[in-house]
């Protein structure tokens, strides 16, 4: 059995896609052992709880108020995860840059998804920035990538999977967001399977 720790900050749609792929037998021999959020009101926590998955709430604010560093925060996060079996750490909308204090515990075992192609629109609001670039005539497509997180660089680790996503003249921002999210949900499952060496099974009819 392969065990995933999924780190989230928001709605958790990619988390839900992972849970569904496991429940439907598409991603075999895999289990989410724990879901971590830095936000107490993240809907992703409710998704996890609905499936009986243990959750951890690990906020940064108490560290800031106490004058403690991000590295201390990350070290404590690693200690909390050590209580669970973890073969792969999956960042699914985790809105913190992880430092070496965490990453050293999971070398080559942390992956992230980013709604842009390699080298394009790193950081937050990537879909909005791509849409604005399209409106300016600078690009005619964007994409999604899944990559390793070896260090503190932002959306620049070695790419596991990438896929282009077209932008059409009639697209609203919401249209583009929906198309990108559909691709995210597909290729994150593919990337997890690839990294773990698991063969995906066909979707049941």
Q: Catalytic residue at 185?
A: no
Sorting pLDDT into bands at 50, 70 and 90, what band is 205? low
The beta strands (E) that lie in 38-140 are given as 55-57, 88-91, 110-114
H/E stretch holding 4: strand 2-8
pLDDT at res. 24: 95
Tell whether pTM > 0.75: yes
- The pair of three-digit structure tokens given for residue 111, joined into one six-digit string: 């992956």
Q: How many whole angstroms separate alpha carbon 132 and alpha carbon 138?
A: 9
Q: What is 153-187 written as a DSSP string?
A: -SS-SPEEEEEEEE--TT--HHHHHHHHHHHHHHH
- pLDDT tens profile 119-138: 999 999 999 999 999 999 99
- The pair of three-digit structure tokens given for residue 120, joined into one six-digit string: 């394009």
pLDDT at res. 57: 97
pLDDT at res. 203: 78
Residue pair 69/36 in contact (Cβ under 8 Å)? The answer is no
Average predicted confidence (pLDDT) for the chain = 96
Angle (CA) 20-25-204 rounded to 5° is: 90
- Which domains, ranges and CATH numbers included, belong to the chain? 2-117+143-164+184-196 (3.40.50.170)
Residue 89 clears pLDDT 90, i.e. is over it: yes
Q: How many whole angstroms separate alpha carbon 69 and alpha carbon 90?
A: 23
Residue pair 111/89 in contact (Cβ under 8 Å)? The answer is yes
Find the catalytic residue in 51, 58, 96, 114.
Answer: 114
Sorting pLDDT into bands at 50, 70 and 90, what band is 202? confident
């Amino acid at each position: 059995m392969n065990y995933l720790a999924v780190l989230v900050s928001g709605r958790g749609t990619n988390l839900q896609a992972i849970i569904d792929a496991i429940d439907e037998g598409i991603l075999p021999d895999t289990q989410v052992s724990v879901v971590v959020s830095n936000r107490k009101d993240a809907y992703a926590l409710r998704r996890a709880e609905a499936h009986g998955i243990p959750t951890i709430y690990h906020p940064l604010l108490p560290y800031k108020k106490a004058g403690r560093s991000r590295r201390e925060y990350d070290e404590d996060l690693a200690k909390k995860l050590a209580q669970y079996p973890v073969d792969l750490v999956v960042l699914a909308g985790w809105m913190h840059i992880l430092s070496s204090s965490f990453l050293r515990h999971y070398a080559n075992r942390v992956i992230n998804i980013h709604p842009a192609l390699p080298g394009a629109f790193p950081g937050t609001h990537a879909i909005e920035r791509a849409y604005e670039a399209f409106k300016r005539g600078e690009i005619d497509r964007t994409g999604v990538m899944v990559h390793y997180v070896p260090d503190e660089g932002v959306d620049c680790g070695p790419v596991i999977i990438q896929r282009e996503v077209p932008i059409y003249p009639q697209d609203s921002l919401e249209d583009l967001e929906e198309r990108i999210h559909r691709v995210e949900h597909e290729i994150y499952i593919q990337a997890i399977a690839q990294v773990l060496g698991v063969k995906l099974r066909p979707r049941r009819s």
